[in-house]
Amino acid sequence: MADRDAFDTATRIAVGDSARNYDDVAVALHWATAVLVVIQFLLAITWDYFPKATTERMQALHISFGVLLTGVVLARIVWRLMPGHYRGAIVSGWVKLASKGVHYLLYALLVVQAALGFGFRWAQGHAVSFFGLFAIPGPYGALDRATRHTVHSFHEYVGWAIVIIAFCHALAALYHHYGLHDRVLGRMFPPARRSERAA
């Protein structure tokens, strides 16, 4: 147990953790997730408007960024589960319940979305390629049209759900900063920390 505590403390010190804000690794993984989700969404809702060859390149990019996003989300979850890297809520009551609920929902939807993305690509009878560097083969071959359609629809709905929920989550964070003037945004977004002294 002592070894475990020492390891947790060492990893916290290594990333400059002040125990007040989210540590640098958690912050980097959070913003990498946010940027990748936006890229994924923009690619998917616009690729139909381009010529076929461009559409296919955009879909290949979506799949490669999808592999990256999956890695980032899994790393974020592992990092968060390591004792000492989670920041308890600084809000209370129903706001705490709602914010925790939204965070867990986002994690769950991101994991489901990754599984559906991989599942759909494999259902098309293709491996999931990462920028042509390597490809992850599926545990099954091409599936029938109806199943592919169902998986595709779920992936599309979950994609919209993530974007809408994350947008509301971002609005809530901005309201904490500009409306309530508390530390919620600053804990996750270092440039916003200058207002801490005033809070």
Binds ligand HEM (CB under 6 A): choice among 27, 112, 161, 169: 169
Binds ligand HEM (CB under 6 A): choice among 8, 27, 30, 84: 30
Q: Is 143 in the site for ligand HEM (CB under 6 A)?
A: no
Cβ-Cβ contacts under 8 Å for 158 (sequence gap 6 or more): 109, 112, 113, 116
Q: Is 121 in the site for ligand HEM (CB under 6 A)?
A: yes
Backbone region of residue 149 per phi and psi (left: phi > 0; alpha: psi in -120 to 50; beta: other values): alpha
Binds ligand HEM (CB under 6 A): choice among 99, 138, 143, 151: 99
Q: Is 128 strand, coil or helix?
A: strand
Indicate the helix (H) or strand (E) that contains 55.
helix 52-81
On whether the CB atoms of residues 44 and 120 are closer than 8 A, the answer is no
Binding site residues, ligand HEM, CB under 6 A: 30, 33-34, 37, 40-41, 44, 48, 59, 62-63, 66-67, 69-70, 80, 87, 89, 99, 103, 106-107, 113-114, 117-118, 120-121, 128, 155-156, 159, 162-163, 166, 169-170, 173-174, 184-185, 187-188
